[in-house]
Amino acid sequence: MSASTAGVGAPTVTIAPLQSPLSTTATTKERAAYGVSLQRLVPLESHADLAISVDRPSPVALLEAQSASRVPDLVPIRYGRMLVSPFTFYRGAARVMAADLAGTARTGLPVQACGDAHLSNFGLFATPERRLVFDVNDFDETLVGPWEWDVKRLVTSLVIAGRDNGLSAKQVRKVALAATASYRNAMAQFAQMRDLDVWYAHADVDDFGARVTAQLDQKRRKALAKGFAKARTRDSMQALSKLTRIDGGRRVIRSDPPLLVPIAELLSDDERAAIQDRFFDLLDAYKATLRADLRPLLDQYRFADMARKVVGVGSVGTRCWVVLMLGRDEDDPLFLQIKEAQQSVLEEFLDPSGFDNQGERVVTGQRRTQESSDIFLGWLRTDGVDGVRRDFYFRQLRDWKMSVDIGLLRPKGLVIYGTVCAWALARSHARTGDRVAISSYLGESDAFDRALLKFAEVYAGLNERDHLVLSKAVADGEVTALTGV
């Protein structure tokens, strides 16, 4: 290991096949042999390497470059959230890590990569059949790319989270090794399965919940059980009571600046009227990206109100809107989240996505990899009031969504959570890449697991230093951070 310091919907596109460099007619035996042959070209141990050049860009410079296209008054919130801990910094630093990963070992076996596969981007949500499932749930950075990058980002997040939670170095190592072994073993299982069986594979949420809660003390067990129960109530009706009020006989979105700001407070009367006049044309363009049988369902809803919303850590500053739609009456809501989609942070270092519209890139990546996706996933391109053309994607604001509070998890709980996240990541990669070649490359030994542990420990230390660099930049007045928001 080396380390030296110093709108309209998009047109139809041709998508590169997600497969190994082998012929599409290659047999399973040939794919397996190819995976084994890669061990000579890219030794498993080489995944431990992280070469940091003396001219590595400042993490603050990389973050500031992203901020240039974001809403200026929201950028300080992003920095404030990243300052909280090394883990929250890591959540917002996907571009920083992508630049570092660009120089690491890779096999050349592509998958539909999440692009930002840290712990907090996994969670629970509802399928259209109203089952609660566990899966990757953030695809802003998704792109066809190296499977190794996703695994490294996930395992590193476990090391950082474990340190944040006060685990010992030995406990952190156990967490990281368990997750990587889970990915490797899951890929081996998927390699033996038929294509349709891989597609239908899913994590048993009830078993997962029981395994995690069994490792917690009584206080944390109650908190997690409450979270699972709450997930099933996080729907449009819950959002209706929390996010709206009646004003002059009509239902509107509450004001909670700067996190939730109704359009009436952001725009002039003329600008607001212009957006409302255009909204149905925009809605028609978005509807064209939905399945045909879902368009009549959306037609039953009418526009009621719209607000700007701040979400997440890494996404803060990108344009995100919440739209309140009402059906048969004031108590029949549909909340749509319209989120700006910018270029994936991976695309600077990999081949172009092939999509004209970044919203379509996000939606397509999500549909490819998730067990089941939101029925209202769609995309749009439109001009803003500033005249700048931007891409967006749509989804429901809340649909039984829940992310586990990582701070609740201590050694055994974090081991279980990490292994389930790794299983879900392996399933998404198995669906979209050459699972036979990847599994054969990984083999049955723990060589890859140990290499990833070394990489994650080194990168966790680098992340801690980057967090301090941001803290110093804020203290020196180079960037402005708004904390506690």
pLDDT tens-digit readout, 40-74: 999 999 999 998 888 999 999 999 999 999 999 99
pLDDT value, residue 223: 65
For residue 144, being part of any structural domain is answered with yes
From CA 157, how far away is CA 422, in angstroms rounded?
12
Please report which confidence band the pLDDT of residue 375 belongs to, taking 50, 70 and 90 as the band edges: very high
Residues 409 and 360 in one domain: no
For residue 3, being part of any structural domain is answered with no
Residue ending a domain, among 396, 415, 450, is 396
Q: Does residue 115 carry a pLDDT above 80?
A: yes
As beta bridge partners, residue 251 has 246
Q: Does residue 484 carry a pLDDT above 90?
A: yes
Residues 275 and 342 in one domain: yes
pLDDT value, residue 13: 41
Tokens of 14: 């041709």
For residue 140, being part of any structural domain is answered with yes
Task: Give the number of domains in the chain.
Answer: 2
Torsion angle (degrees, nearest 10) of CA 19, 103, 426, 206: -150
Q: Does residue 118 carry a pLDDT above 90?
A: yes
Instruction: Check: CB of residue 306 under 8 Å from CB of residue 210.
Output: no
Helix axes 169-191, 147-164, angle to 10 degrees: 150
As beta bridge partners, residue 322 has 307, 337
Q: Does residue 159 carry a pLDDT above 50?
A: yes
For residue 159, being part of any structural domain is answered with yes
Instruction: Check: CB of residue 103 under 8 Å from CB of residue 390.
Output: no
Q: How many CA atoms lie within 13 A of 251 on its CB side?
A: 21
> Which is nearest to 191 in space by CA: 445, 21, 438, 425?
438
Instruction: Check: CB of residue 217 under 8 Å from CB of residue 409.
Output: no
Residues 261 and 201 in one domain: no
For residue 88, being part of any structural domain is answered with yes
As beta bridge partners, residue 113 has 143
List % helix, strand, coil for the chain (3-state, nearest 5): 50, 15, 35
Residue ending a domain, among 396, 423, 456, is 396
Residue with more model confidence, 51 or 448:
448
- Strands (DSSP E) along 238-277, which ranges? 244-247, 250-253, 260-262
For residue 2, being part of any structural domain is answered with no
Residues 368 and 410 in one domain: no
Report the pLDDT averaged over residues 371-390: 89
Tokens of 128: 């259209």
pLDDT value, residue 3: 41
Q: Does residue 199 carry a pLDDT above 70?
A: yes
> Which is nearest to 156 in space by CA: 479, 472, 464?
464
pLDDT value, residue 211: 60
Report the pLDDT averaged over residues 100-119: 95
Report the pLDDT averaged over residues 95-122: 96
Residues 384 and 416 in one domain: no
Max Cα–Cα distance, the chain, nearest Å: 72
Residue with more model confidence, 232 or 107:
107
Q: For the ranges 76-80, 108-112, 380-384, which has the lowest average pLDDT?
A: 380-384
For residue 8, being part of any structural domain is answered with no
pLDDT value, residue 289: 96
Q: Does residue 8 carry a pLDDT above 90?
A: no
pLDDT value, residue 298: 94
From CA 112, how far away is CA 350, in angstroms rounded?
12
Residues 341 and 353 in one domain: yes
Residues 258 and 128 in one domain: no
Residues 325 and 426 in one domain: no
Strand, helix or coil at 108?
Answer: coil
For residue 192, being part of any structural domain is answered with yes
pLDDT value, residue 14: 42
Mean pLDDT, the chain, rounded, equals: 88
Residue ending a domain, among 344, 371, 396, is 396
Helices (H), ranges, 376-446: 411-432, 435-442
Residues 257 and 368 in one domain: yes
Containing domain of residue 255, as a range? 236-396
pLDDT value, residue 17: 43
Residue with more model confidence, 229 or 473:
473
Q: For the ranges 76-90, 104-118, 226-240, which has the lowest average pLDDT?
A: 226-240
Residues 200 and 245 in one domain: no
Q: Is the peptide bond before 258 cis (omega within 30 degrees of 0)?
A: yes
Residues 242 and 373 in one domain: yes
From CA 188, how far away is CA 202, in angstroms rounded?
16
Instruction: Check: CB of residue 307 under 8 Å from CB of residue 257.
Output: no
Strand, helix or coil at 448?
Answer: helix
> Which is nearest to 298 in space by CA: 395, 208, 179, 411?
395
Residues 228 and 240 in one domain: no
